[in-house]
Structure 1
Amino acid sequence: MSHEDYLGSRRFPGLDGLRAIAATMVIFYHFGGPNWTFLSGWVGVYIFFVLSGFLITTLLLREQDRTGRISLSNFYIRRVFRILPPYLVILGGIVAFVILRGEFFTRDFPHALKYYLTFLNEFFPGSGGNGSDNFFSGSWTLGIEEKFYLVWPFLLVAIGIGAAKRKFLLVGTAMVILLALVPLTTGGWALGTSKVAIYTSTIHYFILAGGCLLAILLHYRRGYAVLKPLTHPLAAIPIAAAFGLMTANLDRLWTETQQNLLLLVGYAVLTMLLLIVLVSPGPLRWLLGTAPMRFVGERSYSLYLLQGPVHFVVVQAVPGLAQNRTVSALTVFLVGLAIADLIHRWVEKPLIDVGKRLIARKEARREERQAPPRPAEPHAEPKPEPAPAPATSSAS
C-alpha cells in the first residue's frame, strides 16, 4: 500500500473487527471457564490501549494536515461526547439497580463512586473498600486512557507536531516528557501476581504510547517507508501467527518466566504490527472488516463495560449459568451485545452527532471572526439613460 493510499483511507474497518475480538476475548476469559483460559483474554485490554493510542493520534495528525492546527477544544468535545454518555448511562443503570435491590451501601457504592465519577477507576481496587463486587470494576481501563489523553494532545500542540523539520525529534521529546511524568501518578513498574499492582502499573501508559508512536511513523513518509514492507498481504501470515501464538501462551509464559513487563511490551509490539496489517489491503483486513465483525466492534465499548452487570442478571435469571462455562460466556456475550446495541443506537450515536454539530458551529463562528471585512462599496453615480436603438427594417 502506498503512503498516499494510507493517508487517503478515511476509515479502517479491520480495526473494528480487532475491537470485536478484544471484547469477546475478555468476556470468554472471565465467564467461559477452563476451556477458554488459553485465550489469555485479560490481555484484550492491551489491544484496546494500542488501538486507542493509534486512532486518537492519527486523527490529531490528520487534523493538523487538513487545517494547519490541532484544536484541543474540538478534541475534548469529541472525547466527552464519545466516552461519557455510554459510561454514565451504564454506571447510572448499575446504581439504580443496586438501589432497587437495597445493596447501594453493602456494595460500597458511596466509596466507589468517588473513583468512578473522577476517572480514578484503577485506584479503586487498592483503596480499602469492602471488596464487594460492584459490577463496574472492568472500567479501570477508562481511568488509564482518560488521564493519558489529558496530557498527550497538549504535548502534540506544544512541540509543534506539524513542523516541517525535526518532527521525529520533537515527537520523541514529547513522549519522553510524558512517560517521565507517568510514574508519579501510578503504582510504578511492579507487576508480579498482585491485581492491585497490575491495575496501577506504569506499563499501561507505555503501551498507549506505543499506539501513538505507530500512528506517527505511518503518518510521515520517512517512517512509512520503513514499515511499508509490512503492508504486503503476505506479511499478515507471520504477524497473525505470532500474535495468535503469544495470545494463546501468555498466561503460561507469565507464570513460568516471571518476565511480566517484557511480555506485555512484546505483546504490545505484536499488536502494533497487527494494526499495520489491518490497515492494509489483504484477506485479514477483509475478514475483520466484514459486517458482523464491524457490528460487534462498533458496540465493543459498551459491551466491555456491561459484562459485569449482565453476568449478574443472567445468573439471577438462570442460576445454572453461575458456573463459568462456554454457555455462560455465550449468554453474557449475546445479552450484553443486545443491550450494547440499544445504547449504541439511542445514546452513543446521537450524542456523537451532537458533539459533531457543536464543533461545526464552533468552527463556523471561528471562520466568521477570521474572515476579512468586506470593503465598502463606492457610492454609485447615476448612469445616463441609454440612447434608443435605431429603428431597422425587417429587410435589413
Structure 2
Amino acid sequence: MSHDEYLGTRRFPGLDGLRALAATIVVFYHFAGPNFTWLSGWVGVYVFFVLSGFLITTLLLREQDRTGRISLRDFYLRRVFRILPPYLVILGGIVAFVLLRGEFLARDFPHALKYYLTFLNEFFPGSEGNGSDNFFSGSWTLGIEEKFYLVWPFLLVAVGIGAARRKFGLALAAMAVLLVLLPVSTGGWLLDGSKTAIYGSTVHYFILLSGCLLAILLHYRRSFAVLRPLTHPLAAIPIVAGFLLLHTNLDALWSETRENVLLLVGYAGVTMLLLVVLLSPGPARWLLSTAPMRFVGERSYSLYLLQGPVHFAVIQAVPQLAERSLLTALTVFVVDLGVSDLIHRWVEQPLIRTGKQLIARRRARAEEKAAPPAVEPRMEAAVG
C-alpha cells in the first residue's frame, strides 16, 4: 500500500469490523460465564480507545491538509451530533424505566446523573463495567473519551499547520507525561482490581494517544515509509497472531504480572500494529470488511451502551437466563443488536446528517461573507 493510496482512502471498512469484534467480546465476556474469561473482554474498550484516537486525529490532519486549518467549531459540532443523541436517548430511556419501576432512589440515580450528565462517568463510585448496578455505569469509557476530545484538538491546532515533527513530538511528550503519572493515578504499577484505580488511571489517555500517534505517523510520507513494510499481506500473519495470543492470555497474565498496568501499554502497541494491517489490502481486512461485520461495527456504540439494560430486560423476561452462560450472552447480544439497529436508523444517522448539514450551511455562509462584492457593470450613455 502506497502513501498516496492511504491518503486517498476515505473510509476504512476493516476498522468497522474491528469495532464489531471489540463490542462483541465485551458483551460475551460480561454475560457468557466463567468459561469465557479467555475473551479478555474488559480490554475490548482499549481497542475502542486506539481506534478513536486514530480516527479523530486522521480526520483533523486531513482537514488541515484540505483547508489549511482545523475548525474546532466544526469538530465539536460533529462530536455533539455523533455522541450525544444516542447517549441521551439511552440514558433517558433508563431513567424512565427505573422511575416506572420505583427504583430511581434505590439505584442511586439522583447521585449518578450528576456524573452522567457532565461526562464524569468514570468517577461515579461503585461503577460496574457491565452496567449491572444502575444499567449505565458501563459508560465510564465515554467520560474518558469526551475529556480527551476537549483537549487533543486544541493541542493539534497549537502546534501549527504542517509541522510533522512538532505533532509527532507533541504526541510522544503527552504519552511520556501520562506514563510518568501512571503509578500516581493507580497507586503503583500494579492494579489489584480496585475500580477506582482502574477507572481513574491515566493509562486510558495514554492508549487514546497511541492511536493519535499512529495517525500522525501514517499521515506524513517519511514516517509512512517506515511503517510501509507492515502493510504487506505477509506482515499480517505475525501481527494478527501476536495480537490474538496476547489478547486471549491477558486475563491470566494480569494476575501473574507485578507491573500489570504495563500490559495495557504493550496491548496498545500491538493494537496499533493491528490497525496498520487492517488499513491495508489482505485477508484480515477482507474478513473484517464483510457486510455482517460492518453491520455490527456501525452499531457498536449503542451496542456497548445498551448491554446493561438489555441484560436486565432479558433475565426479567426469561428468568432461566439469569445464570450467565453462552445462551445468556447470545440472547443479550441478539436483542441488544436489534435495539441498537433501531437507534442507529432513527437517532444516530438522522442526527449525524443534521450535524453535517449545519456545518455545510455554516461554511457556505462564511464563504459568502468572505467573497468580494460583485461589481455591477457600468452603463455609459452613447454619444451620438
Is the shorter-chain TM-score for this pair beyond 0.5, marking a shared fold?
Answer: yes
Q: Give the SS at the match of 1:339.
A: helix
Q: Tell me how far apart the structure 1 counterparts of residues 148 and 179 of structure 2 sit (CA, whole Å).
A: 9
Whether 1:138 and 2:146 are equivalent positions in the alignment is no
The 5 Å alignment of 1:142-153 reads: 142-153=142-153
Change (3 A) 1:136 1:34: same
CA distance in 2, matches of 1:186, 1:139: 24
Give how far 1:112 is off.
0.1
Shift of 1:34: 1.7
CA-to-aligned-CA distance 1:182-222 (integer Å, 9 cap, x gap):
99899714333212210110100000000000000000001
1:199 aligns with 2:196: no
* 1:72–1:153 Cα contact (<8 Å) kept: yes
Q: 1:342 to 1:227 in 2, by over 3 A?
A: same
CA distance change for structure 1 residues 111 and 182 in 2, over 3 Å: closer, same or farther? farther
Aligned counterparts of 2:179 and 2:309: Cα–Cα separation in 1 = 31
Q: Secondary structure at the match of 1:188?
A: helix
Residue 120 of structure 2 corresponds to: 120
- CA apart distance, 1:261: 2.0
Q: TM-score, normalised by structure 2?
A: 0.94
Which secondary structure does the structure 2 equivalent of 1:201 belong to? coil
Matches for 1:284-323 after TM superposition, within 5 Å: 284-323=284-323
1:318-355 CA deviation, whole Å, 9 max, x = no partner? 01101111000000000000000000000000000000
Q: Structure 1 CA distance, aligned partners of 2:140 and 2:383?
A: 77
CA shift digits 1:288-322 (9 cap, x unpaired): 00000000000000000000000000000001101
Q: Structure 1 residue 281 and structure 2 residue 298: aligned? A: no
Cα distance in 1 for partners of 2:275, 2:155 equals 24
How far apart are the structure 2 equivalents of 1:16 and 1:261?
A: 27
Greater shift, 50-59 or 174-183, is seen at 174-183
1:192–1:258 CA contact under 8 A, matched in 2 = no
**Which amino acid letter does the alignment assign opposite residue 317 of structure 2?**
A
- How many residue pairs match? The answer is 378
- Aligned match of 1:394: none
Q: 1:178/1:258 Cα in 2 relative to 1: closer, same or farther (>3 Å)?
A: closer
TM-superposed deviation, 1:370: 1.1
Equivalent residue runs for 1:101-250 within 5 Å = 101-125=101-125, 133-160=133-160, 162-163=161-162, 166-173=163-170, 176=173, 180=177, 188-190=185-187, 191-250=191-250
Q: Distance in 2 between matches of 1:65 and 1:200?
A: 35
- In the alignment, structure 1 residue 252 sits paired with structure 2 residue 252: yes
TM-score (norm 1): 0.92
Q: CA offsets, 1:75-126, max 9 Å, x none?
A: 0000000000000000000000000000000000000000000000000025
Does the C-alpha gap of structure 1 residues 181 and 292 become closer, same or farther in structure 2, counting only changes over 3 Å? closer
Taking the aligned partners of 2:317 and 2:213, their CA distance within structure 1 comes to 46
Report the AA paired with residue 167 of structure 1.
Answer: A
Does the C-alpha gap of structure 1 residues 20 and 174 become closer, same or farther in structure 2, counting only changes over 3 Å?
closer
Name the CA shift for 1:170/1:3 in 2 (closer, same or farther; >3 Å): closer
**Cα RMSD (Å):** 2.0
TM-fit CA distance, 1:36: 1.1
Instruction: In structure 1, give the amino acid aligned to 2:304.
Output: Y
Unaligned runs of 5+ in 2: none
Write the deviation string for residues 151-210 of structure 1: whole angstroms up to 9, x where unpaired. 0000111111x32xx422344136535874899899714333212210110100000000
Match of 2:330 in 1: 330
Matched residues in 2 for 1:18 and 1:196: separation? 28
| Aligned-partner SS, 2:65 | helix
Q: Rg bigger for which structure?
A: 1
Q: Tell me if the contact between 1:63 and 1:69 (Cα under 8 Å) persists in the aligned partners.
A: yes
- Give the conservation status (yes or no) of the 8 Å contact 1:187–1:200: no
Corresponding residue for residue 351 of structure 2? 351
Superposition deviation, residue 375 in structure 1: 2.5
In structure 2, give the amino acid aligned to 1:168. R
Q: Give the 3-state SS of the residue equivalent to 1:316 in structure 2.
A: helix
Alignment partner of 2:306: what SS? helix
Further displaced range: 84-93 or 182-191? 182-191
Q: Structure 2 CA distance, aligned partners of 1:199 and 1:343?
A: 27
Query: Which residue of the partner structure matches residue 91 of structure 2?
Result: 91
Verify the 8 A CA contact 1:39 1:247 in the aligned structure 2. Answer: yes
**Residue 165 of structure 2 aligns to which amino acid in structure 1?**
F
Taking a change above 3 Å as real, the CA distance of residues 347 and 186 of structure 1, as seen in their structure-2 partners, is farther
How many angstroms apart in 1 are the aligned matches of 2:177 and 2:63? 27
- Write the distance in 1 (CA, Å) between the matches of 2:354 and 2:175: 31
Q: CA deviation at 1:373?
A: 1.9
2:66 aligns to what?
66
Q: In the alignment, is the contact (CA less than 8 A) between 2:63 and 2:70 conserved in 1? A: yes
* Whole-Å separation in 1 of the counterparts to 2:239 and 2:89: 38
- Alpha-carbon shift at residue 245 of structure 1 (Å): 0.5
**Which residue is equivalent to 1:3?**
3
Between 365-374 and 290-299, report the one with greater CA deviation: 365-374
Deviation (angstroms), 1:133: 1.0
Cα distance, 1:232–1:174 mapped onto 2, change above 3 Å: closer
